[in-house]
């Protein structure tokens, strides 16, 4: 059941992030569905995107100043671990709501996510894990082999419950490798 639910959430996030259907004004209540700008931007490392988010919170551009991340998804990931867009499913500190933060280009978009806040034990501590670029550097051979396979059209990465899932989408199938987010070791 959890695999099915995770696949539905990932598919929805990927669709919404790549089709450009989510955006609201930072710091304001959910402004509804608007097009996401910045598509086609150069891939960016997750650490750099989070630095922009942290700066935005410090400048009060968001209606919250801290958060717990439950899921992190990078779409259009290259062989260095940089992605065309990053999405974080978060619960702001002191709030009983879930928000979807999406980074494309150089800015974050903030939207209410219609699900109840997640279980606190499922939160990802971003301090205790490898960043995607570290994971890709540590596992370069196996990841490049998967990404360069015949028919692969795109690669995504998801961090959920301490596990990185790297998925290569292609014709006619999808391939997935899983890694411990703390050590970078491959998982079966």
- Could you report the per-residue pLDDT of 107-160, keeping only the tens digit for each? 899 998 888 776 656 788 788 899 999 999 999 999 999 988 877 889 999 999
**Residue the block writes with tokens 């370069």:** 140
Domain that holds residue 104: 2-187
| pLDDT tier for residue 33 given thresholds of 50, 70 and 90 | very low
Instruction: Report the pLDDT averaged over residues 93-113.
Output: 89
| pLDDT tier for residue 1 given thresholds of 50, 70 and 90 | very low
Q: Provide the 8-state DSSP code for 29.
A: S
pLDDT of residue 35: 35
Please tell me the pTM assigned to this model: 0.75
Q: Which two tokens stand for residue 25?
A: 């004004």
Q: What DSSP line would sit under 143-181, residue for residue?
A: HHHHHTSTTEEEEEEEEETTEEEEEEEESS-EEEEEEET
pLDDT of residue 40: 57
Cβ(73)–Cβ(13) under 8 Å?
yes
Q: Which of 138, 179, 173 is nearest to 157 (CA)?
A: 179
Burial of 61 (0-12, 13-18, 19+ CB in 10 A): middle
User: What is the spatial distance between Cα 91 and Cα 96, in angstroms, rounded to a whole number?
Assistant: 7
User: What is the spatial distance between Cα 89 and Cα 100, in angstroms, rounded to a whole number?
Assistant: 5
Indicate if the pLDDT at residue 102 is higher than 90. Answer: yes
Q: How many domains does the chain have?
A: 1
Indicate if the pLDDT at residue 11 is higher than 60. Answer: no
User: What is the spatial distance between Cα 21 and Cα 80, in angstroms, rounded to a whole number?
Assistant: 27
């Amino acid at each position: 059941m959890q695999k099915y639910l995770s696949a539905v959430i990932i598919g929805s996030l990927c669709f919404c992030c790549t089709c450009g259907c989510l955006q609201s004004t930072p710091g304001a209540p959910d402004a509804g569905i608007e097009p996401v700008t910045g598509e086609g931007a150069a891939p960016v490392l997750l650490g750099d995107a989070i630095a922009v988010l942290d700066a935005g919170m410090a400048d009060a551009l968001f209606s919250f100043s801290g958060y717990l991340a439950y899921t992190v998804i990078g779409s259009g990931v290259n062989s260095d671990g940089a992605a065309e867009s990053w999405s974080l499913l978060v619960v702001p500190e002191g709030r009983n709501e879930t928000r979807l933060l999406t980074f494309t280009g150089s800015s974050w978009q903030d939207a209410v996510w219609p699900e109840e806040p997640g279980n606190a034990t499922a939160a990802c501590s971003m301090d205790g894990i490898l960043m995607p670029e570290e994971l890709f550097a540590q596992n370069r051979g196996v990841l490049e082999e998967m990404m360069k396979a015949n028919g692969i059209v795109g690669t995504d990465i998801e961090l959920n419950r301490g596990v990185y899932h790297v998925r290569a989408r292609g014709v006619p199938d999808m391939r997935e490798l899983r890694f411990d987010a703390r050590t970078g070791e491959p998982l079966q």
